[in-house]
Every structure is written in C-alpha cells, then in structure tokens.
C-alpha cells in the first residue's frame, strides 16, 4: 500500500470502505426476498457467486498477468478460500437467514474474530491479554442477548447453528488467507476464490448434493412485487462484485486495521436494509446485544493492534482484503 495515498485521501478511503460495507450488507435482505419466494439457498448462492465470478473474470486475469506461477504455488489456499470463505460461508449465512432475521444471522457470523482468539489460544498457545478477554466476554454476553435467552423473541436453533457455521467458515477463510504469498494480488485471490466457489456449487447442484430449486418468478421487495432477477442482480453485482472491488480499494487506501474497523458498519447497514426491504427489525434487547458483539470485536482488534506483528499475522492480514457476505 502506498502510504501517501492514506495520508492524502483519508476521507476518500473511509467513504470507499463504507460503500463496501453497505454493498455487502444488501446481500441478506435481498437474498431473503428470494428465499421467502421459495428459492433454495443453494440456488441463490450459486447464481450470486457465478455472476460475480464472471464480472471479476477479466479484472482478475489482468491483475494476474505475469503472476500465474505464484497462483499455482498458492493453489491449495485459493481452493480452500473458495470452498470456505466464498461458497461455504455464503451458503451457511443464507441458510441462517431462512430461519433468523438478517441482523441476527450476521451478528452470529461476526463472532468469527472471537473464535479465532480461542483457536490461537488452544492451537498456538497465544494466550489473550486483558483487552481480548474483555472483548470475548462482551461478545459472549452480546450473543446471549441476541439469542434472547430470556424468551422474549423466538429464535430458531437450526438458524443459530447455520449462523455459527458461517462464523466457522469465516474463521477458516481468515486462517487460509493469512498463508497467501504477498505476490498474489487481493483481486487475484478474490476472483480465483469466486471461480472455485462457483464451480464447486455447480458440481454439487448438478450431482444432486445441493438443492438448487428455483422459486417464484416474482418476489416482494419493500412491499412491491418485482421480477426474481432484480434481487439476483443486486446480490451478485452490488453485494459481491462491487463490494469485493471497493473492499480491496479500501484496504489499499486505509490499511487492513482501519478498513476492518469500518467494515463493522456492515451489521448496522444490514439491519437498515432488512428494515426497509423486508420490514424486519430485531428486538431492542437483540439490538443491544449486537452492539455488545461489535464492541467485543473492536476490543479484540484494539488489543491485537498492540501485539507484535508476528503474533497477529494470522488474524490481522486477511480481515479486510475480502469482506463478509
């Protein structure tokens, strides 16, 4: 990243990062309109990833000129990223929103940084410091409120499991993306991962392993009936292709730490879109729990930024190079 770019255009960088977060946040609300119309999550994810991969195909090829040998050397990482961070994460998230509100499903997925802390402690003996422990405690408390253990809201156990599955896939993406050679451009990883994810989903669909049933030809958006391809284009072009490109640009302008903080606004954008598009809003206690989860993640990120670079590479490097679904 060019340091002068960050100094010269800080507001532009923040604006691009906010645009990326808002773009990613549209996926839940617009995809759920299809799911409520009888579309299988597998069909929605397959179409979304396929269109996004096609849109980014040419930019990816251009970005990889002269670097294909490096891509082959990192092939297993790209494949793992495509299967987990792209296909697996989005599929689990869309299954979650069939049972939960968009905001609650996304908050469950945002527990990924907390899970990473636990993994690093158990696997690499990287014991968390005070700020991280406080952050984990806040996130766990927030999760209990989001799940509404007091019983004021109905929360589907199946939906919770899918949401946690999305978080696990996101953890795998973070861990895999940390092993990518620096010579592989972010666009190469994003475009390659989308291509891998698309191929895997088509194979699963054609062999009957994945339900790709198409639903109604018209779905309801903001109280209005629209053709099915309207939300499909939004989640493919806006929530995938545009969101990935602007997310990468934001990292180049702001750096991974600042961009990842701004990316937390995706939760807030997602709640707003779900409210406008689906008239869906979490209860006040769930919204408060969501703020605690975000606060916990921020505390973990602050503590991480104070740690030696070699101790934080696994968690830090990939956080904003490709944002969440």
Q: What is the mean pLDDT of residues 165-178?
A: 79
pLDDT at 204 over 90: yes
Candidate ranges 48-52, 139-143, 185-189; pick with highest mean pLDDT: 48-52
Asked whether the whole model's pTM tops 0.85, one would answer: no
Across 291-306, average pLDDT: 72
Where does residue 176 fall: left (phi above 0), alpha (psi -120 to 50 degrees), or beta otherwise? alpha
Please say if the pLDDT value at position 3 is more than 50: no
Within 8 A by CB and 6+ apart from 56, the residues are 187, 190, 191, 194, 241, 244, 245
| 323, 266 contact by CB (below 8 A) | yes
pLDDT band at 305 (very low <50, low <70, confident <90, very high): low
Q: Which of 286, 246, 308, 290 has the alpha carbon at shortest distance from 19?
A: 246
Q: In the predicted model, is pLDDT for residue 5 greater than 60?
A: no
Beta-bridge partners for 227: 218
pLDDT in tens, 66-104: 888 888 888 888 898 899 988 998 899 999 988 888 878
- Note whether 304 and 120 are within 8 A (CB): no
For residue 309, is pLDDT > 50?
A: no
- Tens of pLDDT, residues 92-135: 999 998 888 887 888 788 777 777 777 777 776 667 677 778 87
Retrieve residue 141's tokens. 């408390």
DSSP annotation string for 129-168? -HHHHHHHHHHHHHHHHHTTTTSSS---HHHHHHHHHHHH
Percent over 90 (pLDDT), the chain: 25
Which residue has better confidence, 10 or 50? 50
């Amino acid at each position: 990243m060019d340091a002068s770019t960050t100094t010269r255009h800080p507001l532009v960088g923040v604006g691009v990062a906010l645009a990326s977060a808002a773009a990613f946040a549209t996926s839940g609300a617009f995809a759920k309109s299809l799911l409520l119309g009888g579309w299988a999550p597998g069909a929605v994810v397959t179409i979304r990833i396929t269109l996004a991969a096609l849109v980014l195909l040419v930019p990816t090829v251009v970005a990889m000129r002269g670097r294909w040998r490096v891509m082959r050397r990192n092939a297993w990482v790209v494949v793992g990223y495509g299967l987990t961070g792209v296909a697996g994460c989005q599929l689990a998230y869309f299954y979650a929103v069939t049972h939960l509100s968009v905001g609650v499903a996304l908050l469950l997925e945002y527990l990924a940084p907390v899970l990473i802390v636990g993994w690093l402690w158990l696997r690499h003996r990287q014991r968390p410091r005070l700020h991280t422990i406080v952050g984990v405690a806040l996130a766990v408390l927030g999760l209990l409120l989001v799940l509404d253990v007091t019983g004021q809201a109905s929360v589907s156990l199946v939906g919770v499991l899918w949401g946690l599955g999305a978080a696990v896939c996101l953890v795998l993406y973070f861990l895999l993306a940390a092993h990518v050679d620096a010579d592989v451009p972010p666009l190469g990883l994003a475009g390659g991962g989308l291509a891998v994810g698309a191929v895997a989903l088509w194979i699963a669909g054609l062999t009957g392993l994945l339900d790709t049933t198409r639903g109604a030809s018209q779905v309801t958006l903001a109280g209005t009936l629209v053709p099915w391809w309207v939300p499909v284009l939004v989640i493919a072009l806006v929530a995938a292709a545009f969101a990935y490109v602007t997310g990468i640009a934001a990292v180049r302008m702001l750096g991974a730490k600042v961009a990842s903080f701004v990316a937390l606004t995706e939760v807030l954008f997602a709640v707003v879109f779900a409210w406008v598009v689906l008239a869906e809003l979490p209860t006040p206690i769930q919204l408060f729990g969501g703020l605690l989860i975000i606060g916990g993640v921020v505390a973990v990120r602050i503590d991480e930024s104070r740690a030696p670079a070699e101790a934080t590479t696994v968690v830090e490097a990939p956080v904003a190079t490709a944002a969440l679904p």
